[in-house]
Structure 1
Amino acid sequence: MTLVNLATVLSKAKEGKYAVGAFNATDLNTARGIVEAAEQEKSPIILQFAESHSKYISLEQAANMYLDLATRACVPICVHLDHGENFNTIIRAIKLGFTSVMVDASLKPFEENIQNTKEIVKIAQSLGISVEAELGVMNAEDGSGSLDYNTMDDTYTSVQEAKEFVQKTKIDALAIAFGTVHGLYKKEPNLNYERIKAIQNCTDMPLVMHGGSGLSNEEYQQSVANGITKINYYSTMSFEVTNGLRNYLNSNSDAFLFDVDAKTIELVKNNIAEKIQIFGSSNKA
């Protein structure tokens, strides 16, 4: 199969009313597990590298590994820069061959977010590279218990601003805030499906869920039914695979490093395959 951009996989997802999983990786074994899950499920996927993960692996190393895996895979794979906050990082990703980049200027004033995004759109789309941007504030769970999931309405993406933002930037996908949070949930989330639907109706744009870890099957599926076509999923997978490795090592005191490598791939593959099925993209390659 071929390496694809974000617009290609999300346009099909939007038409078919399913979501494509966007999975972060910070090492080769995790990335291999993700790709093997996609091949098993015959599903398109988005293999992501977050700018904030540069302390674990360089952008250049990630590009070499993930692009190689993607071009050899038998399913469509988009290699995507997640949460690109710095102009130079985004340009480096474009030069390295990423097929999609995210401009995250969501913490900047509305007009500045538009201008920063438009600048990248002009460069990237001329090269066939898709652009995702974010509007609204994605809260992060720090585990302190101070975040109230029921009082975040003022940080949700504005419907009218979303319409204006999409019209002015010409992006390919919009990440919206509607009640999800980054990290592992400490309480029951309160998702505003009507906000998703309203933004979808006024923008006709592929919409992105960030903070997609730890939701129930119904919450994923209701989000998709109302217009989400890309789901970012990482924290829960990372946590659950780590626990799986801990149990494996406790039960296998004679394990070698290569055994741990193989177990990591297996655990990631099983975890990601389950989510692909829930998101509805199995057999959509």
Structure 2
Amino acid sequence: MLPPKIFFEKVKEIMWPIERKELKLFIPMALMMLCILFNFGALRSIKDSLVVPSMGAEIISFLKLWLVLPSCVIFTVLYVKLSNKLNFEYIFYIIVGSFLLFFLLFAYIIYPNQDIYHPNDEMINNLIASYPNFKWFIKLGSQWSYALMYIFAELWSAVVINLMFWQFANHIFDTSKAKRFYPVLGMIGNIGLIIAGSVLVFFSSGQDVIDSELLLDSFNASAGNAIMLQPIMSIIVTAGIIAMLLFRIINRFILTDSINVLDAKKLQLK
């Protein structure tokens, strides 16, 4: 049987394999992932609550095939072009900033004025009756802002998490650090999903089902049990800004420390 001291050291190596000198880099990366996954959790619920009640659950597969997939391809081409002109740091700011700007526009301009921007039901029904083969395209067009929100929410996962964050992590962590850091990063990041769920429950005021009819703007929300879209989006944008600030701190102050720099070229990610 192992002595208690050695036993607890072994447990610590498994549960927290981060050395003290590495905390300066690890903690900002963990907080950055927490913010990004918080947004992922919140956006995942919001996008479904908008699309499913207004267009039906059967629209999801159609939406992913005809809009989300082409959007991913378009973004890949755009990302390659940006990579040839800018370094990774500026690309990160441009991409994440564009997402956050859209979320603000949706919450404060598009969603409160959707009756102005969306075509009326009579026109949509007439179009569907005249062109039944294009029924799903017409439905998407009738709720184009919801479809656009769905696309951006899906791209947040594919782009910001899978591409931007993990590409950055792979550049600053060598193989030995990655084996120790990534499981703990994942555990801390998942706390963001828990927080996102708690935030949605708080703003839903006890509602068991997230319904787009309850996504009222904060100026006109008269129902006591209503999810407030604008405050939630404001929190999402704030979390995104915090992630950008952490990214800047890591690049400008932490990676310049010789302890954390693996290769000088990695400071100019291409």
For the aligned pair, the TM-score class normalised by the smaller chain equals under 0.3
Between Structure 1 and Structure 2, the one with more helix by share is: 2
Greater RCO, 1 or 2 (C-alpha within 8 Å, sep 6+): 2
Larger Rg: 2
- TM-score (normalizing by structure 2): 0.26
Between Structure 1 and Structure 2, the one with more strand by share is: 1
- TM-score (normalizing by structure 1): 0.25
